[in-house]
Structure 1
Amino acid sequence: MKKWWIVGGVVVVVVLAVLVGPWVYGKFIAEDDAPAASVSTEGAQAATGSVDGQWVVTTGSGANETAAGYTVSEILNGARVTVVGTTGQVSGAVSISERKMTAAEVVVQVADIATDNSRRDNQFRGNVMDAAAFPTATFTLDAPVDLASLPTDGTPATVRATGALTLKGQSRPVSVDVKVLHSGDTLIASGSVPVTWSDYGLTPPSLGFVTVDGNGTVDFLVSLTRA
């Protein structure tokens, strides 16, 4: 009889591990990443000079440090978590004339985008993005953006930008709400572009222990100074 109690106890433990394990992981272990960076007004100053001119992406500083990457939701070991991958390896330029943004390009080095998990990053850089063959992701503006409403008192405004997003060599038209701040002699802009990965020929991983959603966002925060 004692032997059957032992066997029964083992079975109960196994069943509980299978049924309750994912709940325990999601409740006490899995954590969402910090959200993608957005324009911060901390320490913002009144604008210095006109917004017109040529601007280039710089590293920025503090909460407005330049960064770009992606946000996705995935089920990891039975728990839903939000993953944010990011890099500071971003370049680009903006042209503004008569308070209209007439040209803009942002270039992101894909192989430098990282999360807190090296196995996830290896999948992203290899099987998903093929960063060796397609080392950059880009956004290129294709229609002027009116900046006439951009405040000069150190507060931000939101404008709508349309352009082309290129991932893994595939370009698609996109529209994005961009938060813009003119602080001192610096321009800071951030936004998140909604993306369906299959539109760009990307296949989100589904490896048993992890399944990534088919939708997410491409995120950016760029600080710019005069060229």
Structure 2
Amino acid sequence: MRTRGKVAVWAGGVLAAVVVAGVVWGPGLYADWQNRNAEAAPVLDASGDALAEPTSLDGTWTAQPGSFAGYRVDEVLRGNHATVTGRTEQVEASVTLDGGALTEATVTVDMTSVHTDQPPRDLYFRTSALATDQFPTATFTLTQPATLDAGATVVDLTGDLAIHGVTRPVTVEAEIGQQGDDAVQVVGSVPLTFADYDVAAPSLGFVEVEHTGSVEFSLLLAPAG
């Protein structure tokens, strides 16, 4: 990996997006500002209900507008922690339920469209960190069926997560909520270590990116067709 080149590109983004805020405002003020601008973690819509009868959901469901995915990571600027979130609504998903069990699922995220509040950071994310010109998508593929119980709001989803050309097994504790007969919401977060996906977390002394983060998602699903 060309770590020196990655740090150089990332440094340009930081100098453009962080130094002005972090040095002129002060690290503490920058961290407070960044934390206020971070997106909240995905949660179930308050209007949703626990699953009534899972077998009634049998069939194929696909992602609808309002679905999103992204990442959450911490930056440390001179001892001050700032949470950064990236988001995109360019998400495709196909989920199949049979006999009240989730038997197939594929979720694909367009990584070229993930964005934060800082374009220079996004440039580093797309070019040096994830090389989205070579690996434009991230994909979760279910590898084990997951039984849905009546009244349930949580389900463990076991599958393969592919990011940056690297595929690793993961288990996601997802929350699920039913919104009438024609909509289901699934939300969750997948903790990850960047090195596991051959992604380097750069450090420039005055600012560092933590070596761990998470992938977050909220899927609004409706029956296909």
What are the residue-to-residue correspondences of 1:175-214 with 2, within 5 Å?
175-184=171-180, 185-214=182-211
* Cα separation, 1, equivalents of 2:201 and 2:78: 16
SS at match of 1:68: strand
1:165 partner SS: strand
Q: How much is the aligned-residue C-alpha RMSD, in angstroms? A: 2.5
- How does 1:43-192 map onto structure 2 within 5 Å? 50-59=56-65, 65-76=66-77, 78-149=79-150, 151=151, 157-184=153-180, 185-192=182-189
Say if 1:74 and 1:183 are closer, same or farther in 2 by CA, change over 3 A: same
Deviations 1:75-110 (A, max 9, x none): 146521111101000001001000000000000000
> Given that residues 30 and 79 in structure 1 are in contact (C-alpha distance below 8 angstroms), is that contact kept between their aligned partners in structure 2?
no
Alpha-carbon distance, 1:38 to partner: 2.0
Identity %: 38
**TM-score normalized by the length of structure 1:** 0.80
Task: Give 2:146's aligned amino acid.
Answer: V
Q: Deviations over 1:28-86 (max 9, x none)?
A: x4434122322212376996981111111111xxxxx2110100011146521111101
Matched residue of 1:119: which SS?
A: helix
5+ residue gaps, structure 1, are 1-17, 60-64
Do 2:161 and 2:170's aligned partners in 1 also have CA atoms closer than 8 Å? yes
Say if 1:87 and 1:112, in contact at 8 Å, map to a contact too: yes
Q: Go from structure 1 to structure 2 and tell me whether the alpha carbon gap of 1:46 and 1:201 turns closer, same or farther (over 3 Å shift).
A: closer
Secondary structure of the 1:50 match is: helix
Deviation at 1:183, TM superposition (A): 1.1
1:180 counterpart SS class: strand
Q: How far off is 1:179 after superposition?
A: 0.5
Change beyond 3 A, Cα 1:183–1:128:
same
| 1:136-169 Cα distance to aligned partner (Å, 9 max, x none) | 00000000011123x3xxxx60111110000011
Task: Judge conservation of contact 2:34–2:83 (CA < 8 Å) in 1.
Answer: no
Amino acid at match of 2:172: V
CA, structure 1 residues 148+47, in 2 after alignment: closer, same or farther (shift >3 Å)?
closer
2:45 corresponds to 1:40: yes
Instruction: Pick the structure with greater CA Rg.
Output: 1
Q: Distance in 2 between matches of 1:157 and 1:56?
A: 19
Distance 2:51 2:145 in 1: 24
